[in-house]
Amino acid sequence: MHGTLEMRRNYKSFISSFPLLIILSGCVNNYKVDWHETRSHRWRPIQTGWFGQTGFTAQNPEDSGSVFSNDLNKNLINENRILLNGSGVSLGDIDSDGLVDIYFSRLDGENVLYKNLGNWKFEDITEKSGTACANQFSTGTVLEDIDGDHDLDILVSSIGGPNALLINDGTGSFEDVTGEAGFSFDAGAHTMALADIEGDGDLDIYVSNYKKLSAKDIWEPGELLFQFVVDRTGEEPRIADEYSDHFFLEVRGNNALFFEVGERDILLVNVGDGKFRQESILKGRYRVQEEEGQHHLKDWGLLARFQDFDNDGDPDLYVCNDFESPDRLWLNNGAGRFTAADDFFMRNSSNASMAVDFSDIDRDGQLDFLVVDMLSKSHKRRMTQRSTEVLLTAPLGVYRNRPQYMKNTLFLNRGDNTYAEIAQMSGIDASDWSWANLFLDVDLDGYEDMLVATGHYYDAQNEDSMIQSYSRIQMSAVKKQMIKDGMATEDDNDKLNVIFLFPTLELPNVAFRNMGNLRFEDVSDTWGFTEADISHGMALGDLDNDGDLDVVMNRLNAPAALYRNDSDAPRIAVRLRGDSPNTRGIGSKVKLLGGPVDQMKEVISGGSYLSGSEALVSFAAWDTDREFTLEVTWRSGELSVIEGVKGNRLYEVYENYHSQEKDFEIDRRPSTKVRVASAFGVE
């Protein structure tokens, strides 16, 4: 195998001197061919690259034209440290020209829309498309067909609002309908996830909210000590009135602890015609067990993700929450009503849960998932960092106690609605300060690998900096006490922000190769992730039309990163053409059968950290002679089956066997009807 790889590399080197072949290799994403059309689907050949290696190649911003940079100055950081959670990116074909375009969110200034020109060239069309969203701190973004007219619209979340819903006119020009669509709200909005939660055919939106402003940005560090936050003048300790909107008190054994609360998440129910009704998650949609202390579900929501956990055909919901907020797993009853999963579903979780992604990592037909945290890969750094975990945990043996640990957690599906946590055994428990994670089969061997976006503006766990900051904290504590005693007055000009005492935590992004035996190998260097940076949102899409998934990352204070996927192994790409209003088949499951292992992927919308990937599924094909069977279980309950599927092809599968130029009324009730087609027509 290694000999074969070396021969490929030598061959590549040999032919690189021939201009004709250089041109041929550079035009992969402009490779045009007539579609082979049938009633149930269409397909076209895929021309793979000549790179002869597995991994990624970073594209030069100046060469590509994608020079976007998400810059943030110290004045803004000093005012609101939540901005350091970053911004995201979304991918999709906004003008239906067959090329995947890129939309970046920005914290300070205008968002940017890049039109894909082909051959890894991009043009900034923000101004003429009307997509800047200049007057907001933009965080998350998703490209999705909101109004069911078969083109992609733009959704943008922001810290403090007003957010943005931009409707596409079909040509790549957009109209802002935020207010009239019911998409305007004032919250610390982060990741958006879209799914048809009720089974009525249209897409609803769940928004994970963090907070508009942290308590550390309202008060100086020394003002947040126990002696000020907790009032002990009465019979029982309580949160002092000044802090009551921001903290709650919890007694663990003989110890009283106070915790800051985040914000309630938001559910936007689609009422048709691209309009939404905001519903409280406390009024019937989400049911919790009565004995659980919920603090009104004011969690620190970083990410929300719709996924069919229990394999009953409707989207369930996983919410990653930072700090002491537990992760939430909500199971859908099929009508858009959610119940908290049983406590034994998983017995522990990550502490600072940043993001989650799902994959059948061992190809046993059961869905597994990985939650990322911020445990360092470096032993030296672990010795100089202090854990963020609260040490005074609930007593052992308490039924409802779900310990949270500062590490990645990989949950292996046992097949009985319970999971075993195996991250350390699998070698995937540490990826440093991790914001986003995504499963994809990079080497196209049938097993999905893992990419992680990492880094932070400051190393908040650095012990040396913590010690250095204590004097500053003590100074502000003295000031607070003097103010209480009438010996001093407030002075907004001397606010102390200890963030700037900590070193920057720039890190290379991480790649883990799935070895197929429940173990992962760190291949970051060999797969092209060598540059240290601060990466936040990450999205996948086929930017060069070769059927595999390329990677785009939104970085802080550095140009965004575009990574070309260099694999030349055979692949099968699948895109769904659903009926309006769910035109991309969101919530459908795609299976490829007939290879050494069966492969499955659910088509999702949003649900990546602050980001949304292209709705394209890419499977391993192993060779181009083998014939496969493709199965699509639509969100509507219909099942499409295509036989005779072959490698190095892109398949577009139609829901209900009709031209996508027409609209049809369909029965949304679950169906057992199976449609079988060959690769050349319906049988």
Mean pLDDT, range 48-61, rounded to an integer: 88
Q: Determine the pLDDT at residue 675.
A: 40
pLDDT above 60 (res 494): no
Residue scoring higher pLDDT (28 or 400): 400
Contact 606, 144 (CB under 8 A): yes
Q: Determine the pLDDT at residue 681.
A: 39
Q: Determine the pLDDT at residue 28.
A: 47
Residues 6 or more apart from 507 whose CB is under 8 A from it? Answer: 432, 433, 454, 455, 532, 533, 534
Burial status of residue 658 (CB atoms within 10 A of its CB: 0-12, 13-18, 19 or more):
middle
- List alpha helices for 194-334, DSSP H: 226-229
Mean pLDDT, range 498-508, rounded to an integer: 87
- DSSP string covering 336-390: S-EEEPPGGG-S-EESS--EEEEE-TT-SS--EEEEE----S-HHHHHHB---S-
- Give the model confidence (pLDDT) of 132-171 as tens digits: 999 899 999 999 999 999 999 999 999 998 999 999 999 8
Q: Determine the pLDDT at residue 439.
A: 98
pTM score of the predicted model: 0.89
Q: What percentage of the chain carries pLDDT values higher than 90?
A: 65
Q: Determine the pLDDT at residue 7.
A: 40
pLDDT above 80 (res 290): no
- Give the model confidence (pLDDT) of 531-555 as tens digits: 999 999 999 999 999 999 999 999 9
Residue scoring higher pLDDT (336 or 284): 336
Mean pLDDT, range 520-539, rounded to an integer: 97
Sign of the C-alpha dihedral, residues 174, 176, 178, 179?
Answer: negative
Q: Per-residue confidence at 657, pLDDT binned at 50, 70, 90?
A: low
pLDDT above 50 (res 88): yes
pLDDT above 60 (res 25): no
pLDDT above 70 (res 557): yes
pLDDT above 80 (res 673): no
Cα 534 vs. chain centroid, distance in angstroms? 16
The one-letter code for the residue type at 532 is A
- Counting every residue written for the chain, the total comes to 683
pLDDT above 50 (res 587): yes
Q: What percentage of the chain carries pLDDT values higher than 70?
A: 83
Contact 141, 88 (CB under 8 A): yes
- Give the model confidence (pLDDT) of 239-252 as tens digits: 999 999 999 888 77
pLDDT above 70 (res 411): yes
The β-bridge partners of 231 are 238
Residue scoring higher pLDDT (444 or 392): 444
pLDDT above 80 (res 295): no
Contact 194, 188 (CB under 8 A): no
- Give the model confidence (pLDDT) of 298-347 as tens digits: 899 999 999 999 999 999 999 999 987 889 999 999 889 898 887 767 77
pLDDT above 50 (res 662): no
- Give the model confidence (pLDDT) of 351-368 as tens digits: 889 999 999 999 999 999
- Give the model confidence (pLDDT) of 62-72 as tens digits: 999 999 999 99
Mean pLDDT, range 196-221, rounded to an integer: 93
Pull the structure tokens for residue 575. 């895109």
* Mean pLDDT of the residues in the chain: 86
Q: What are phi and psi of 63, to 5 degrees?
A: -75, -40
pLDDT above 60 (res 379): yes
Range with lowest mean pLDDT among 102-106, 476-480, 522-526, 600-604: 476-480
Contact 537, 139 (CB under 8 A): no
Residue scoring higher pLDDT (396 or 1): 396
pLDDT above 80 (res 415): yes
d(CA 361, CA 371): 14
